[in-house]
């Protein structure tokens, strides 16, 4: 039973430590804070803190409150479950997690706009969606909606990216009328 619980806990432990590392990195963003405005570190830190809380919750729930069926009983039930079980893609889950980690790593280099667009598009492709025009449209609209919400409504400064990628950011911001 302990091995089964450990198997279920390990992914949460990995995500917990990755989140803590990126939280540490987010604390070292170089920026000039405008008085009364949130800095570019606020939202990543908030999301990472929520991820840490969720992981700790799942670890505690699994370790102390999850009841795992004895192996003999589980082996008897397995053929019945196999017939009704939908096909799963754990490899795609791992790729999605890796893409999310890569997004957090590359957002300062590529800038929020370009990195978010690529993340949305690639996530849909990895998720086995194949209509390229729908992928492009959803990625573009989703990115622009987030840019307007964060930069025009909430007034959060998002990473602009480094040259030459910051050129894309400045072009899109100019087209949207965001200064």
Which candidate, 41, 39, 47, places its Cα nearest to that of 15?
A: 47
Domain endpoint, select from 33, 58, 85: 85
Q: How many Cβ atoms from other residues are within 10 Å of residue 49's Cβ?
A: 14
Asked if 168 contacts 113 with a C-beta cutoff of 8 angstroms, the reply is yes
pTM attached to this predicted model: 0.58
Do 145 and 69 share a domain, yes or no? Answer: no
Do 68 and 125 share a domain, yes or no? Answer: no
Which tens digits make up the pLDDT trace of 71-130?
Answer: 555 555 555 555 567 888 888 889 999 999 999 999 999 999 999 999 999 999 999 888
Do 79 and 156 share a domain, yes or no? Answer: no
Domain endpoint, select from 85, 110, 138: 85
Tally of structural domains, the chain:
2
Which residue range is the domain that position 142 belongs to?
92-179
Residue 42 has a pLDDT of: 80
Residue 131 has a pLDDT of: 93
Angle between helices 132-147 and 112-126 (to 10 degrees): 140
Do 75 and 96 share a domain, yes or no? Answer: no
Which tens digits make up the pLDDT trace of 43-71?
Answer: 788 889 999 999 999 999 988 887 766 65
Which tens digits make up the pLDDT trace of 10-36?
Answer: 999 999 999 999 999 888 877 776 777
Asked if 122 contacts 75 with a C-beta cutoff of 8 angstroms, the reply is no
């Amino acid at each position: 039973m302990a091995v089964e619980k450990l198997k279920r806990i390990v992914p949460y432990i990995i995500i917990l430590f990755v989140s803590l590392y990126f939280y540490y990195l987010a604390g070292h963003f170089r920026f000039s804070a405008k008085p009364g405005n949130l800095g570019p570190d606020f939202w990543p830190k908030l999301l990472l803190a929520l991820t840490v809380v969720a992981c700790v919750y799942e670890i505690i729930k699994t370790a102390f409150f999850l009841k795992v069926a004895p192996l003999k009983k589980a082996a008897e039930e397995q053929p019945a479950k196999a017939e009704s079980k939908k096909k799963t893609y754990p490899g795609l889950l791992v790729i999605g997690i890796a893409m999310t980690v890569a997004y957090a790593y590359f957002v300062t280099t590529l800038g929020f706009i370009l990195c978010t667009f690529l993340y949305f598009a690639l996530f849909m492709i990895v998720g086995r969606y194949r209509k390229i025009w729908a992928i492009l449209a959803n990625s573009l609209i989703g990115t622009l909606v987030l840019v307007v919400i964060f930069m025009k409504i909430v007034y959060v400064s998002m990473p602009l990216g480094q040259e030459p990628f910051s050129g894309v950011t400045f072009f899109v911001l100019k087209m949207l009328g965001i200064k």
